[in-house]
Amino acid sequence: MDADVIVVGTGNAALCAALAALDSGASVVLVDKADASLAGGNSRYTAGAMRFAYSGRDDLVGLLTDPADQRLADADFGSYDESMFLADLVSFNEGAPATTEQRALVSESLDTVRWLAGHSVTFEPIWDRQAYFVDGRHVFWGGLTLAAHGEGSGLVDAETAAVLARGGTMVLETEVTELVLESGSVVGVRVTDATGPRELRGSSVVLACGGFEADPEQRVAHLGWHWRGAKVRGTPHNTGAGIRLAIAAGAAAHGRYDACHATPMDLHMADFGNLDLPHVERKNYRKICYFLGVMINADGDRFVDEGRDFRNYTYAQFGAAVLEQPGAFAWQVFDSKVEPYLYEEYRFHDASFIEADTLDELAEHLEGVDSVRALDTIRQFNRAVDRDASFDPTSKDGKAASGVSPPKSNWAQTIDTPPFRAFPVTGGITFTYGGLHVGDHGEVLREDGTAIEGLFACGELVGGVFLAGYPGGSGLTSGAVFGRRAGNGAARRA
């Protein structure tokens, strides 16, 4: 054999599978068609946030890169127990009960993050995006508090170092083209590299090579025609190969193939994430402060309740909503009152925006938009704002705009203080939700519920984790939880 366990992919889920297998004493080879510059899959493009259940400060401080950070004395992390995490997941299920996969994600989330910390992965409080400084305290909101040190790139680098230190091997620029089956069991993979085709043999194979978000034809087939032109936020290599290989071997498709994670992005961002930029700059193409203003489409209309919930719980859906608008774009409009609350991405040197001293002038310069209707929409919104309620970005403040369609449920402030700014956005797809049916140990299941011997899966390939939406920070945690499961299961078989 080339290894006890062959892992296909090099992202967070793949690395967690490899790390768990190595912990169990198995030998591991990771295979990826990416070269060194793109190794790490989608995980390298993320902001590194990880959502997990915790009881309070004591569950967090031991995970931190700098537990002596002076700001911690004034930090209010609150608590986020398992029932809260599960409720957040179920709130996106469109009335369906919690899935087996969601319950597993929640119950194993804290232990998995602690396990990562035991392998030299450290975390930092998300001071700039998940906390507001109120009455002398850094008040965290939305159940999301920590991100990996160095964001997604830092997470991948730390996990890779841990895998290599334990004897794991990485084989890059090598594409897996087929699973090798003998007597119904998976015993390896067929690959192609610069030297041509060959086989890699192992007792177990773990598929951890992402969803189909980078394939425009599959996006159209599963998500709809308007997804063909979506910006792809991550790697160009996630084209659904793992799903296709597994289904060809008899695996059951599972989960919502017609839903995905997306987010509003700068309209003029290049397709695919730009890893040439430092991670602190890559994140600046996101535009997720819509809750502080309004979003206007080409017809000059608002089309979502921008303040329906914290942006942690809406951005993955609102990215899709933008793509569904005429021309697949919208403008986010703000006035100067909210400028202190806007994330740094709105001040990024490469951010696309227009600025004007009057709303009339701003409307005239909204390219591609019915300017007369847009101006009327903003004025109607201003008249609908509740002037008596107080604005509070750390809670769902109930400061609403009522009597307009759609309403704005929270954080509604009149757009009346110049200068005014508007930012053009489109939808950027991050990952898809449909995948495979896996068992409690990461084993890939057939339609009849039996396991395909020797085949395991994790990461985006696990169907049933997210249905119609996504609470921010759950994706990396899901990759780690199900990666660890798959690695343990694959090593046990080996």
Render pLDDT for 137-168 as a digit per residue (tens, 0 to 9): 999 999 999 999 999 999 999 999 999 999 99
Statement to judge: residues 417 and 466 lie in one domain: no
Q: Please check whether residue 237 lies inside any domain of the structure.
A: no
Give the CA radius of gyration of the chain: 23
Q: How far apart are CA 344 and CA 35, in angstroms?
A: 31
pLDDT at 279: 47
Q: What is the pLDDT of residue 234?
A: 86
What's the mean pLDDT in 266-287? Answer: 66
Strands 3-8 and 196-207, how do they pair? parallel
The 10s digit of each residue's pLDDT in 418-469 is 999 999 999 999 999 999 999 999 999 999 999 999 999 999 999 999 999 8
For residue 280, the model assigns a pLDDT of 45
Examine the pLDDT at 253 and tell me if it is beyond 70: yes
Do 346 and 457 have their domain in common?
no
Whether 473 and 80 have beta carbons less than 8 Å apart is answered as no
| Cα-Cα end-to-end distance for the chain | 11
Nearest to 166 by CA among 34, 391, 3, 354: 3
> CB neighbours of 47 closer than 8 A, spacing ≥ 6?
129, 147, 151, 152, 283
- Which residue, of 389, 405, 428, is where some domain finishes? 428
Q: Is 291 helix (H, G, I), strand (E, B) or coil?
A: helix
The pLDDT value recorded for residue 285 is 78
8 or 37, which is more confident: 8
CATH of the domain at 410: 3.90.700.10
pLDDT score of 269 more than 90: no
- Residues 448, 393, single domain; the answer is no
Strand partners for 182: 185
pLDDT of residue 128: 87
Q: What are phi and psi of 95, to 5 degrees?
A: 95, -15
The single residue listed with the structure tokens 């366990």 is: 5
Same domain, 32 and 65: yes
Contacting residues for 342 by C-beta, under 8 A, at least 6 apart: 289, 292, 334
Question: Where is the domain boundary, 411, 428, 445?
Answer: 428
Answer yes or no: do 387 and 445 share one domain.
no
In a domain, 440, yes or no: yes
> Is pLDDT at 81 greater than 80 in this prediction?
yes
d(CA 424, CA 374): 14
Task: Give residue-wise pLDDT tens across range 43-75.
Answer: 998 889 999 999 999 999 999 999 999 999 999
In-domain check, residue 59: yes
| Residue 128 shares a structural domain with residue 91 | yes
420 with 443, same domain? no
**Per the structure block, which two tokens stand in for 242?**
């793992």
> Which strands form 75-76's sheet, in the order they lie side by side?
75-76, 137-140, 131-134
Whether residue 108 is contained in a domain is answered as yes
Q: Mean pLDDT, to the nearest integer, of 28-47?
A: 93
Query: Same structural domain for residues 407 and 465?
Result: no
Tell me how far apart the alpha carbons of residues 207 and 455 are, in angstroms, rounded to a whole number.
8
Query: Domain holding 156: CATH number?
Result: 3.50.50.60
Residue 367 lies in a domain: yes
In which domain, by residue range, is 268 found?
262-428
Tell me how many domains the chain contains: 2
Model pLDDT, residue 45? 86
Q: Are residues 200 and 295 in the same domain?
A: no
